Amino acid sequence: MNARQLLLRLFWAAALTIGASSFASAQTPPDPGAKAAVAKATFAGGCFWCMEEVYDKVPGVTSTVSGYMGGRVKNPTYEQVSSGRTGHTEVVQVEYDPAKVSYARLVEIFWRNIDPTQKDAQFCDYGTQYRSGIFFHDEEQKRIAESSRLALQKKKPFKGEIVTEITKVSEFYSAEGYHQDYHLKNPARYKFYKSGCGRAERLQQLWGKPGS
């Protein structure tokens, strides 16, 4: 084998190696760690059915779960919470993509869908289990929530003091299955409840017409 033949053979061997390497790279499956980031936010706005409906409509929200938070009893049932003796309040836990919707935006939506002036109640539902609140998951959420409440206190479009709590997240207990996605599973009953509770009318009194 002369020098030229040897050189050509080495060249093709190198080319085949590079080609195989490129093909292998192209066939490498996506890195599981490259999935979109998911963050959590937790809000208490009275009836968790209604708050689920609100956040299900927000672009960037990936899931909502109705549940209980802020109480003393482990694994509480709806019957226990609704008695008002466990210390829990009804909450919705929201999972969202921070690249598509900010926590500040979620907080803004929260305010616009509650009555911040009602203590231990929301609309037609009364008791500590319906108190409104923001449960922050980290210091950044706390800062955003508190700044938002302060700004609202200065420029609120309604009379009455803001009594909504801002507290650190605690153990979250998912509500029973029949409560999840209630507005989708039982639309007629849900609309009857929401209308009878006067939620839309009170929100308009507080904030004006949607979009105004």
* Structural domain boundaries enclosing 47: 36-207
Q: What is the mean pLDDT of residues 22-29?
A: 44
Is residue 57 pLDDT above 50, yes or no?
yes
The answer to whether residue 20 is domain-embedded is no
Residue 177 CB neighbour total at 10 angstroms: 9
Q: pLDDT of 88-125, one tens digit each?
A: 999 999 999 999 999 999 999 999 999 999 999 999 99
Q: What percent of the chain lies above the pLDDT cut of 70?
A: 82
pLDDT: is 3 or 192 the higher one? 192
The answer to whether residue 16 is domain-embedded is no
Number of structural domains in the chain: 1
Q: Of the residues 47, 50, 124, 197, which is catalytic?
A: 47
The answer to whether residue 180 is domain-embedded is yes
The pTM (predicted TM-score) of the whole model is 0.83
Residue 47 annotated to the active site: yes
- What CATH code is carried by the domain that includes residue 140? 3.30.1060.10
The answer to whether residue 21 is domain-embedded is no
- pLDDT score at 210: 76
For residue 69, name the pLDDT band (cuts at 50, 70, 90): very high
